[in-house]
Amino acid sequence: MEYKSLTNGVTLPKLGYGTFQIPPEDTKHCILEALQCGYRLFDTAASYANEKEIGEAILESGIPREEIFLTTKVWIQDAGYAKTREAFERSCANLGVSYIDIYLIHQPYNDYYGSWRAMEELYDEGRIKVIGVCNFSAERLVDLCMNSRIQPMLDQVEFHPLFAQKELNDVLAMYPCQLEAWGPLNEGQRDIFHHPELIKIAAKYDRTVAQIVLRWHMQHDVIAIPKTVDPQRMKENMAIFDFRLDEADMAAIDALDIGYSEIIDHQSYMTAKWLNKYKIHD
Ligand SMILES: NC(=O)c1ccc[n+]([C@@H]2O[C@H](COP(=O)([O-])OP(=O)(O)OC[C@H]3O[C@@H](n4cnc5c(N)ncnc54)[C@H](OP(=O)(O)O)[C@@H]3O)[C@@H](O)[C@H]2O)c1
């Protein structure tokens, strides 16, 4: 494992485990498998409706709480100061924990300034170790950094070889705020596992395409949280700490960037409308 220290001194594993879209009945055994493979950083969200199963699996594993890094997120519906404080307590209760390691604003919509004030307070109270955001573009991030008492320590955004968010990277480096990659494998889209350039590089290092892509993340000093329900793939994705891509191969992978997302466009009014309509509780 490689580690990354954030601005506030908290050190996180650079490779974690994503839990979006794992079928509810599979969540518990997937988390137990992932723990066995050595994953210690877990990513969930109130909107994934799996916090309870994740908390149960961690408890059942017997691994001490302080060895685990739990991430969860406040959904749009719970934006605002008071609602975020309530949502935070709900997530803690679901996960069966008294503190959250990484608490994030899930989407850059609704009253996220109110949420941020609540999160700053919870951070001061020692209930959250790292506060941050998700899906914040460069200008929203700058705005939040310039108008808050505590600056976000992490921005979880889509990031992979086909969408490497160059401008955002420069802005994050300025503050600095750590980039955490969701969709590090492009959610398997655009046939990424059969991309000719990636296959060529994978053959050179005798690795799989997934390993090459995740190794590229590590060398960009990004935290990545790939999701898989397959125990073999959990191991495969973790086996990336015994080789390095050379500069030419890093550059060849950098050159695959198409400059836009094929998964979601947060700048589109349709995305804002669709996500704002999505309710996770009454
Ligand atoms: N903040 C946000 O708005 C946001 C948005 C999206 C995701 N996330 C977080 O980021 C995590 C990761 O992103 P993601 O799940 O969207 O996409 P991802 O990790 O890029 O890709 C997951 C897909 O890749 C497959 N896969 C994983 N490892 C593989 C391997 N070694 N070989 C071949 N296929 C492999 C998985 O299939 P199998 O499961 O069948 O193996 C699944 O179809 C999520 O789980 C979630 O925790 C956050």
Quote the DSSP letter at residue 7.
T
DSSP-derived 3-state class of residue 281: coil
Cα–Cα separations (whole angstroms), residue 89 to 6, 52, 59: 25, 13, 18
Total number of domains constituting the chain: 1
The verdict on residue 246 lying in a domain is yes
The verdict on residue 4 lying in a domain is no
* Residue 88 pLDDT grade (very low, low, confident, very high; cuts 50, 70, 90): very high
**Structure tokens belonging to residue 243:** 């080789």
CA of 187 to the centre of ligand 1 (A): 5
The verdict on residue 223 lying in a domain is yes
CA of 19 to the centre of ligand 1 (A): 8
- Do 14 and 223 meet the contact criterion of CB atoms below 8 Å apart? yes
Q: Is the CB of 33 under 6 A from ligand 1?
A: no
**Structure tokens belonging to residue 132:** 């941050």
CA of 146 to the centre of ligand 1 (A): 32
CA pair distance 95, 89, nearest whole angstrom = 10
In whole numbers, what is the pLDDT of the chain averaged over residues? 97
- What is residue 255's predicted lDDT score, i.e. its pLDDT? 98
- What is residue 63's predicted lDDT score, i.e. its pLDDT? 98
Q: Is the CB of 72 under 6 A from ligand 1?
A: no
Catalytic residue IDs: 48
**Structure tokens belonging to residue 268:** 């589109």
Count CA atoms within 13 Å of residue 188 on its CB side. 3
* Residue 142 pLDDT grade (very low, low, confident, very high; cuts 50, 70, 90): very high
- What is residue 40's predicted lDDT score, i.e. its pLDDT? 98
The verdict on residue 202 lying in a domain is yes
CA pair distance 71, 43, nearest whole angstrom = 5
Bridge partners, 224 (sequence order): 15, 181
- What is residue 87's predicted lDDT score, i.e. its pLDDT? 98
Q: Which domain holds residue 221?
A: 13-277
Ligand 1, residue 44: give the atom nearest the CA: 47
The verdict on residue 189 lying in a domain is yes
**What residue's CA is closest to ligand 1, atom 41?**
228
* Residue 7 pLDDT grade (very low, low, confident, very high; cuts 50, 70, 90): very high
- What is residue 30's predicted lDDT score, i.e. its pLDDT? 98
The verdict on residue 83 lying in a domain is yes
The verdict on residue 7 lying in a domain is no
* Residue 62 pLDDT grade (very low, low, confident, very high; cuts 50, 70, 90): very high
The verdict on residue 57 lying in a domain is yes
**Structure tokens belonging to residue 213:** 């892509």
Q: Give me the CATH number covering residue 62.
A: 3.20.20.100
